[in-house]
Amino acid sequence: MIAIPAIDLREGACVQLVGGSYADERVRVKEPLDALTRWRALGFRTFHVVDLDAALGKGSNEGPIGKLLNHEAGLTFSVGGGVRSTANVEAVLALGATFVVVGTRAIEDAAWLREVAERFPGRVVVAADVKGREVVTRGWTAGSARDIGDVLKSLEPLPLGGLLVTAVHKEGQMEGVDLPLMEEVARTSRHPLYASGGVTTLEDLRALGRVGAHGAVIGMALYTGKLDAAEVAREFA
């Protein structure tokens, strides 16, 4: 189980939002590269980058993403946020991403998801953002009326690089993870599980490891110092 620092981009800066609310921004690092070098210095090698502006159709952070991905060879990056076309998928991979994360269109358009997954086997990660048990889309602003169990079943045959499951109701709250949800996903899916939302303590990480998560994306707890980043890196980087 590896810990993966989140680098969420908004207006060219690295930010952290509470509960997915764009009105509740709690952390802002003006230069995203500063966040990357800080986490690299502690030993982290895998990072999750999200273009929040692209997710909401309010612009693009392609420039900052390119700088992050080309900063140092040998690092692993998953990159997502507003990736809703085959051209977007190609562009993200061309920038140097290890994995491209697709959410909204992947949930809404099964034929398109199959097409890109088969074209780039092992490189496409599906983001399933879950509120309660419903998978939500469009930057967490729209419901899909689909239960996470139903979505998992539909993804089983595809050659995916993994599933990024975010417990939206836990995101940024620093109150712990939705362990039953993550355990269910790890048990029922053959794809590697990257868990996100609410990671607050080392015990949260250990518990995710015990239920079978492949990785855990951490944001708010690292940026606010609630979690000791050096301790996390020692055990999970």
Active site (catalytic) residues: 8, 129
Report d(CA 47, CA 98) in Å as an integer: 10
- From the list 141, 143, 142, 189, the residue with the least C-alpha distance to 165 is 189
Contact 215, 2 (CB under 8 A): yes
Residue 192: phi and psi, rounded to 5, are -60, 135
Report d(CA 235, CA 201) in Å as an integer: 12
Helices (H) and strands (E) in the chain, counts: 11, 12
What ranges make up the beta strands (E) of the chain?
Answer: 2-10, 13-17, 25-29, 46-51, 76-80, 99-102, 124-131, 134-137, 142-147, 162-167, 193-196, 215-218
- Counting every residue written for the chain, the total comes to 237
- The pairing of strands 134-137 and 124-131 is antiparallel
